[in-house]
């Protein structure tokens, strides 16, 4: 996976470019069908509803739609709460592409990023009772694959139908 930059609302943005192996199995954001800019968690509902509506039309199962909705809510909420620390002047960009076989969604924030591999295990005995810390775990559980850019401020979610 390579990191590239692109103009994004007059700012430089970092986004994931897929390796040839990933592109063959997951598609490419280069032909993105839809894009939304959100500042708050209340603004994310319309984007999620549109994604789920298109998944329904293409025949994705209720379980696949549920998992995608949950992963999206976690990723966008994490971007706003942790990446932006609630700063509503910052923007989260949501882009997606789908076809009958798969959906590929990218959530990019303007935060400093984080190390997703440095997160504590939410299933460890000391963490089971904690009220938070399960978002990335849930994304990885419900999606076929999840990838973060090097900086940790952009997550790509992929759901391959039937997996």
Domains of the chain and CATH, by start: 2-118+132-160 (3.30.565.10)
The pLDDT of residue 67 is 98
**What CA–CA distance (Å, rounded) separates 55 from 47?**
12
Q: Which residues of the chain have pLDDT under 50?
A: 1-28, 30-31
Question: Which residues contact residue 125 at a Cβ distance below 8 angstroms, ignoring those fewer than 6 apart?
Answer: none
Q: Is the pTM here over 0.85, yes or no?
A: no
pLDDT in tens, 97-119: 999 999 999 999 999 999 999 99
Asked if 104 contacts 97 with a C-beta cutoff of 8 angstroms, the reply is yes
DSSP-derived secondary structure letter, 120: P
The pLDDT of residue 133 is 83
DSSP-derived secondary structure letter, 9: T
**What CA–CA distance (Å, rounded) separates 50 from 42?**
15
The pLDDT of residue 1 is 36
The pLDDT of residue 33 is 72
The pLDDT of residue 131 is 79
């Amino acid at each position: 996976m390579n990191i590239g930059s692109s103009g994004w609302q007059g700012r430089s943005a970092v986004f994931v470019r897929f390796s040839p192996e990933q592109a063959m199995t997951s598609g490419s954001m280069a032909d993105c069908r839809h894009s939304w800019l959100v500042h708050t968690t209340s603004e994310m509902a319309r984007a999620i509803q549109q994604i789920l509506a298109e998944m329904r039309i293409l025949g994705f199962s209720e379980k696949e739609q549920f998992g995608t909705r949950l992963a999206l809510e976690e990723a966008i909420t994490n971007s706003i709460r942790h990446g932006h620390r609630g700063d509503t002047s910052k923007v989260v960009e949501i882009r997606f592409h789908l076809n009958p076989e798969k959906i590929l969604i990218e959530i990019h924030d303007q935060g400093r990023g984080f190390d997703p591999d440095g997160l504590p295990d939410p299933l460890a005995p000391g963490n089971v009772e904690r009220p938070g810390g399960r978002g990335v775990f849930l994304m990885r559980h419900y999606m076929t694959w999840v990838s973060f850019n090097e900086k940790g401020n952009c997550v790509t979610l992929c759901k391959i139908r039937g997996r």
